[in-house]
Amino acid sequence: MQQQQQRKASAELDFFTEYGEGSRYRIEEVIGKGSYGVVCSAFDTRTGDKVAIKKINDIFEHVSDATRILREIKLLRLLRHPDIVEIKHILLPASRREFRDIYVVFELMESDLHQVIKANDDLTPEHYQFFLYQLLRGLKYIHTANVFHRDLKPKNILANADCKLKICDFGLARVAFHDTPTAIFWTDYVATRWYRAPELCGSFFSKYTPAIDIWSIGCIFAELLTGKPLFPGKNVVHQLDIITDLLGTPSQEAIARVRNEKARRYLSSMRKKKTVPFSQKFPNADPLALRLLERMLAFEPKDRPTAEEALADPYFKNIANVDREPSAQPVTKMEFEFERRRLTKEDVRELIYREILEYHPKMLKEFLQGTDSSGFMYPSAVDQFKKQFAYLEEHYGKGGIVTPPERQHASLPRACVLYSDRPAQKSPDITEDLSKCLIKDAEKPPETSNEVPLSRVPVPVPQDPQARPGKVVGSALHYGSSNGTTLAADLYEQQRIMRNPIPSSGPSNPLPSGTSYPRRNPSFKSERGGSDRVEKPPYMAGKVAAALEGPSGHW
C-alpha cells in the first residue's frame, strides 16, 4: 500500500515534462492539488523571486475546459492591478501544435482567505476593514474593464501574512459588451452556491449586472465577521430559503421581475418573512460596516452599490484614497472575439499558444510576421526535474524545509562536443560563455591530407539557453589546412549545399583516410536513371589554386 502511494505521489510530482525552459526554476514543494493538476512553489533563478507554478494537465481533453483556461490567462494579462494576482510568465511549449499541458508562473502567495478565516479567530475590526477595502478596490478595476468575475469566494482570494489580498481564478469570468445580447443569456450555474446572488439562483432577471459580484463580496465580508458562511445552502431552493430568512420575503414588484416562471411561483407562494436586523445577526460588528453590508446584500441588484460607490462609503473614511483606486480601460471586443464563435480543439490550442507568446516577445514578433517555426524543439530538463521531485517525495511529510538538489549544469542538445576556452565553471557561467564554445568535427580529415572536400557534414550547434528555442547561436567553426591556416576556398565550400557530396573515388582519386560522409545506399539511382553522385566541378581546381596564391586571387 505504501509503495502504491509512493508511486502515485511520484507520478504527480513528475512536474516538468518537455519544457527545457523549466531549468530556470528550482522546485521547492507542492502547495496545492486539484482536478486541474498541481501547484508547486519554486525559486526563479533568473530574477531571485519566489513563484508558484501551476501545471494544468491535458487542457484540450474538453474544449470547454480549454476555453476556460484561455479566458483566464487572457484576462489576467489584461487586468494588471495590485489587488489581482499576476501571471509572471508562461513556459513555452516544445511544440506549437502538439502540447497538452501548460505551466503558468504566478507570484507566490502564502495562503487564501478561506484558510485565514478558518485559522484565525483573533481578527480585528481593522482587519475586516482593510480586507473589504482591497476586495472592493480590485472589483472596481475589474468592473470598469467591463468584466464580471462571477465566482468570488474565500478560496479565490489569495492572502499573505501582511494582510495583502489578491483576487484570482478568472475561469468563469465574462466580458460584457453592451451592444450584444450574449450577456443576457449566460448560464445560471455560476459562482459557488453559497456566494451566489439571488438572481443567479433562479434566473431571476433578464440581464445580469456587476451587482452579482457585489453580492459575493458581501457574503465574504459577513463570513469574515462571524467566521462561518452566511448562506450555506444545500441546494437552490434551500439557498433561497436561508436568504429570505435574513432579508425577508421580496416585494411583489421584485417578484414580478423574476424571469423564471417556477421561481416566480415559488417566491409568490412563500410564507411572509420579516427582515432580521443586521445588528441582531452581527451583534459585535461596527455599525458602519453593517450598514454597508446591508447595502451589498440587497435582494434586488439595482439596490446594491457599485464597487466605486461602496469605496466612497463612510466605513472607509480613514483609509479611502481615490488616487489608489484606479479604473481600467474597457476590454476590447477583439480580445474576446472567440467567445462569439464555436471553437474546435485546434482553434483553442492556437489561441492559447498565441497568449503564451505574449510572455516571449521575440517569438511573438516572428509569429506576427509569419516567420516562426511550428515544429521547434529545445533542450529538456526532464531528468534533472525527475530527480528533484523524487527527492521531494522521499522527504515529503517528514516536517521541516525540504530543498531538492541543485542542477549541476544547463541542458544542452545531444550529439555535440563542446570545448571551452576557459576552465570548468559553475552552471550560472555556462550561459554567458556558451558563445565562446567551439565545435569540433567528430571525424576530421587527417592534417596530412591535401584533399579539399566538396562539403562538410553538418555539425549540431549548441543553443543559448536564453535565446529563442530553436535559434542557433553563432559559433566559431575551426577548420584548418595542412599548414594550420584556414583556406578561403574551404570557408566558401562550407556554405555550399550539394546532394550526396561524395567525391568520385578510384585509383586516381582515392578517398582520404578518416574522412566521414553521410551514409547512403551505393545502389541508389536518381530519377534520371544515373547514380545520384555529384562530381567535382571542373573549375574548382582553378578556384582553389587562385585562393592559395594570396590576396590578389579572388572568386
The answer to whether 307 and 211 have CB atoms below 8 angstroms apart is no
62, β-bridge pairs? none
Burial 410-444 (b: 16+ CB within 10 A, else e): bbbeeeeeeeeeeeeeeeeebeeebeebebeeeee
* Residue tagged active-site, from 83, 112, 151, 313: 151
Half-sphere exposure of 452 (CA within 13 A, CB side): 20
- Report the run of H or E that residue 18 belongs to, with start and end: none
Helix (H/G/I), strand (E/B), else coil: 531: strand
DSSP class of 485: P
Is residue 448 classed exposed, middle or buried when 0-12, 13-18 and 19+ CB atoms within 10 A define those classes? Answer: exposed
In sequence order, what are the residues at sequence separation of 6 or more whose Cβ sits closer than 8 angstroms to the Cβ of residue 122? none
DSSP class of 22: G
SS (H, E, C) 251-308: CHHHHHCCCCHHHHHHHHHCCCCCCCCHHHHCCCCCHHHHHHHHHHCCCCHHHCCCHH
Listed residue (392, 391, 432) closest to 46, CA to CA: 432
DSSP class of 466: T
What is the DSSP track for 332-395? PTGGGGGGGS---HHHHHHHHHHHHHTT-HHHHHHHHHT---TT------HHHHHHHHHHHHHH
CA distance 24 to 448: 46
Length of the chain: 555
CA distance 288 to 313: 9
Q: Active-site residue 213, yes or no?
A: no
- Residue 153, marked binder: no
CA distance 398 to 32: 17
Look at the block and give the residue holding cell 482591497: 134
In sequence order, what are the residues at sequence separation of 6 or more whose Cβ sits closer than 8 angstroms to the Cβ of residue 438? 418, 419, 421, 475, 476, 477, 478
Which residues belong to the active site?
151
Binding residues: 55
Binding residues for ATP: 55
